[in-house]
Structure 1
Amino acid sequence: MELIFIRHGQGEHTLNLPKSLQNPDPALTKEGIIQAKSLRNQFPLSDKDVLIISPIRRTLQTALICSEGINCRKIVSPLVSPRMFPQNPEWNPLPCDEILKKEMVKDEFPGFVIDEDLPINLWIKGINTLPESEFNSLADNFLIWCKQLGKKRIYIISHDGTITSYRQFITRGKLSRKDFPKETGWFKIDC
C-alpha cells in the first residue's frame, strides 16, 4: 500500500506569525487556493481513490479543491488532525489547530464522510498532545485500517507535524522540524 501524505495549502494562520496562530478556524489564503489547485496536476485523482482528511478547515478546503469534479471517497478523521512535533508537555495546543465539530463538517462539506468509529475524545482533542506511546498505538491501528480499505494508494491531507510524526513512526527513523513538508508538499511512503 502506498500512502501519500500531503500538507494543506497556505492557511491564514501563517500570515502574521506568531499572532495569527491564535486565530481559530483559519481558512486557506488566496495563495493556498492556488496551491490546492496545483495538486490536481500532481495527483490526478480518480473515482477509485480515497482521501483521508484532517477535520480542520484548511485541510478540508485543500481536499475539496484538489478533488473538484472527482467523486472519490473523502473520509474525515481526527487520526490525521494537527499534532505537535516534537512533543513537549509544556506546550499548549494553538487555537488555529482546534478540530471542527462533526456537525459543522457535515454541514459545510456534505460530500465528505465522517469517521464515526472513533472515540468521541479524539473528535474533541485529536492527537495534538498525545504522549508518544498513545500516538504510536493509534498510528499502528490507523495503518491497519488503511490496509483494510483495500486500496493500493491512499492520499492523506494533513499538517506538517502530523505528517512528520507518521513518517517517523512508519520509517522508525529520527526526524526533526527540518523535515516538515512545505505547503502542499508531500511524501510517499510504502507500507
Structure 2
Amino acid sequence: MELIFIRHGQGEHTLAIPNSLHVKNPSLTAKRIRQAKLLRGKFTLTEEDIIFISPLRRTLETALIWSLDVDCRKIVSPLVSPRIFPFHPNGKTLPCDIVINLQTIKKEYPNLEIDMNVSPDLWSGGINTMPEIDFNIIVQEFIANLKSLNKDKIYIVSHDGTITAYRQFISGRSLSRKDFPDETGWFQINVDL
C-alpha cells in the first residue's frame, strides 16, 4: 500500500511569524489556494480514492479545493493532526495548531466523514504533544486500519511535523526539520501489506 502525504498550502499563520502563530484556526492564503488547485495536476483523484484530512481549516481547505467535483471518500481524522517535530516533552500546542471542535467540523463540513475509530481525547487534544511512545502506538494502529481498507494508495493531507513523524516511524530512519515538505509538497512511502 502506498501512502501519499500532502502538506497543506500556506496558512495565514505563517505570514508574520512568530506573532501569526497565535492566530486560531487560520485559513489558506490566496496564493496557496491557487497552489492547492495545482494538486489536481499532480494527483488526479477518482471516486475510488480515499483522503484522510487533519481537522484544521488549512488542511480541510487544501483537500476540498484539490478534490472539488470528485466524490471520493474524505475522512477527517485527528490521527493526522499537527505534531511537534522533533518531539519536545514540554512542548505546547500553539493556537494555530488547535484541532477544530468535532461539532464545528460536523456543522461546517457536513459532507465529510468523521473518523470515529479514535478516542474522544484525540478529538479534543490531537497528537501534537502526545508522548513519543503513545504516538508510535497510534501510528501502528492507524496504519493497520489503513491496510484493512484494501486500497493500493491512500492520500493524507496533513502538516510538516506530522508527515515527518510518520515518515520517521515508517522508514525507521532518523529525520530532522530539514526533511519537512514544502507547502503542498508531498511524500510517498510504501507500507508492506
Q: Same fold (TM over 0.5)?
A: yes
Identical-residue share of aligned pairs (%) = 57
Shift of 1:116: 1.3
Greater shift in the superposed pair: 102-111 or 2-11:
102-111
Q: What are the equivalent positions in structure 2 for 1:80-91 lying under 5 Å apart? A: 80-91=80-91
Q: Does residue 28 in structure 1 map to residue 23 in structure 2?
A: no
Quote the offset at 1:109 in angstroms: 1.4
Alignment-derived partner of residue 127 in structure 2: 127
Alignment pair present for 1:51 and 2:51: yes
- The alignment covers a number of residue pairs equal to 191
Matched, 1:112 2:112: yes
Distance 2:136 2:94 in 1: 22
Matched residue SS, 1:70: coil
Equivalents in 1 of 2:50, 2:162: separation in Å? 19
Q: Which moved more, 1:88-97 or 1:71-80?
A: 88-97
- Secondary structure at the residue paired with 1:146? helix
Paired letter, 2:17: L
3-state SS in 1 of match to 2:106: helix
In structure 2, the residue matched to 1:176 is: 176
Aligned runs of 1:54-65 on 2, under 5 Å? 54-65=54-65
What SS does the aligned partner of 1:4 have? strand
Which residue does 1:161 correspond to in 2? 161
CA offset at residue 91 of structure 1?
A: 2.2
Q: Secondary structure of the residue that 1:178 maps to in structure 2?
A: helix
SS across alignment from 2:184: coil
Match in the other structure for 2:14: 14
Alignment match, 2:93: 93
Q: Note the alpha carbon deviations across 1:32-91, whole angstroms, 9 max, x for none.
A: 101110001100000000000000000000000000000000000000000000111222
Q: What is aligned with 2:148? A: 148
- TM-score of the aligned structures, taking structure 1 as reference length: 0.99
RMSD of equivalent CA atoms = 0.6
CA distance in structure 2 between the partners assigned to 1:179 and 1:134 by the alignment: 23
One-letter code aligned to 1:94: L
- What TM-score comes out, normalization by structure 2 length? 0.98
2:56 corresponds to which letter in structure 1? I
Partner Cα separation in structure 1 for residue 117 and residue 136 of structure 2: 18
Q: Hey, what does 1:37 align to over in structure 2?
A: 37
Runs of 4+ in 1 over 4 A off after TM superposition: none
Q: Which SS does the other structure have where 1:44 is aligned?
A: coil
Shift of 1:117: 2.0
Q: Following TM superposition, by how much is the alpha carbon of 1:103 offset from its aligned partner in structure 2, in angstroms?
A: 1.4
Secondary structure in structure 2 of the residue aligned to 1:51: strand
Match of 2:68?
Answer: 68
C-alpha separation in 1, matches of 2:10 and 2:59 = 10
